[in-house]
């Protein structure tokens, strides 16, 4: 029997094949894992792109209205820095915030900004946001209910003052957790403005937060507020005023903020008349453009028996009254 000897080259070839197969066997799980991970990343990328694309095209108007920048732009000019002098604690001047609700210069603020311990302010002046001119103002009315910390003041001068976009008819009809923004002057003129001195241009501070709690006569939000914020409007995602900043919890760094619901504004008769656009000094027939040949009750729905202040108001978005 003849025994054949293996050729050295054949033995070397088999050794290489054995090693290659061994390496393939050992690295196969790793290759599968890497391939699976790459496939998952690719799938997530495609899905995410499709989702974002769908959101962007589904309702561009809806997404545009929820930006804080758009809400600020629509309402910023109507916000005012208020300086008052009240005998006692504010004899040398105190500052707060307010916002215009009619084009003839009617402004909403807090009662405690213009009245303290029953003493009324002897001097009031306002500066609208993005302007440098101080305008004299006078006290019109204060709320009589203890839990409604609101007041109305009137800016002097020609009409056509800025006014906020709208005021919610019933205050916050939003659940806890809903996003809100505030526009105002926390710390008053102590914060940097555009320029210095009396001629500085008033620049507001915008803060974002959420509704933390809703009670019958108070809303709690977690946006920032400080001295000077009193009277700031609190706005929902439609840009409508749902409340007015009135104070906050002590020793909480301004993060627990108390708000008077916007429904309190409508308890002030002057505001109701003026926002509707008519009053005893400006009959609704002059607003509606009617005459004796076309009675105003047939146009605006009001008459001497049913003043226009009692009429249902036009709504803007989510139960809000249009001011302009």
The pLDDT value given to residue 216: 84
The pLDDT value given to residue 162: 95
Domain boundaries, the chain: 74-155, 165-265
Environment class of 227 (CB within 10 Å of its CB; exposed 0-12, middle 13-18, buried 19+): middle
What does the pLDDT look like over 56-102, one tens digit per residue?
443 444 434 458 888 999 999 999 999 999 998 888 889 999 999 99
* C-alpha distances in Å from residue 119, one per residue of 83, 86, 136: 16, 7, 19
Q: Do 211 and 79 form a contact (C-beta atoms < 8 A)?
A: no
CATH topology of domain 74-155: Thrombin, subunit H (2.40.10)
The pLDDT value given to residue 135: 95
> Which helix (H) or strand (E) covers residue 272, if one does?
helix 269-276
The pLDDT value given to residue 34: 61
SS3 per residue for 41-96: HHHHHHHHHHHHHHHHHHCHHHHHHCCHHHHHHHHHHHEEEEEEEECCCEEEEEEE
The pLDDT value given to residue 127: 95
What does the pLDDT look like over 290-320, one tens digit per residue?
333 333 333 333 444 444 333 333 333 333 3
The pLDDT value given to residue 313: 35
CATH topology of domain 165-265: Thrombin, subunit H (2.40.10)
- Do 74-155 and 165-265 come out as alike in CATH topology? yes
Q: In the chain, which residues have pLDDT < 50?
A: 1-6, 46-65, 276-324
């Amino acid at each position: 029997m003849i025994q054949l000897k293996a050729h050295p080259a054949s033995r070397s070839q088999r050794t290489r094949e054995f090693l290659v197969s061994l390496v393939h066997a050992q690295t196969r799980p790793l290759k599968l894992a890497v391939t699976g991970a790459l496939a998952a990343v690719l799938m997530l990328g495609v899905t995410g792109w499709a989702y974002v694309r769908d959101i962007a095209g589904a309702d561009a108007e809806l997404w545009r209205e929820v930006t804080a920048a758009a809400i600020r732009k629509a309402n910023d000019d109507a916000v005012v820095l208020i300086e008052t002098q009240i005998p006692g604690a504010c004899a040398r001047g105190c500052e707060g915030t307010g916002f215009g609700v009619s084009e003839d210069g009617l402004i909403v603020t807090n009662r405690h900004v213009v009245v303290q311990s029953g003493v009324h302010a002897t001097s009031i002046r306002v500066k609208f946001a993005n302007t440098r001119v101080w305008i004299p103002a006078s006290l019109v009315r204060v709320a009589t209910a203890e839990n409604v910390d609101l007041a109305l003041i009137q800016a002097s001068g020609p009409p056509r003052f800025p006014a906020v976009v709208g005021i919610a008819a019933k205050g916050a009809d939003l659940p806890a957790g809903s996003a809100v923004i505030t526009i105002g002057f926390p710390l008053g003129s102590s914060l940097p403005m555009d320029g210095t001195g009396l001629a500085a241009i008033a620049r507001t501070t915008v803060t974002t937060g959420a509704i933390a709690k809703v009670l019958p006569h108070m809303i709690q939000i977690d946006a920032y507020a400080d001295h000077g914020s009193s009277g700031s409007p609190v706005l929902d995602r439609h840009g409508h005023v749902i409340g007015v900043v009135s104070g906050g919890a002590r020793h909480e760094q301004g993060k627990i903020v108390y708000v008077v619901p916007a429904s309190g504004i409508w308890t002030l008769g002057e505001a109701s008349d003026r926002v509707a656009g008519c009053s005893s000094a400006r009959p609704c027939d002059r607003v509606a453009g009617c005459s004796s040949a076309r009675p105003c009750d047939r146009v605006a729905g009001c008459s001497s028996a049913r003043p226009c202040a009692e009429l249902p108001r036009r709504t803007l978005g989510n139960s809000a009254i249009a001011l302009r």
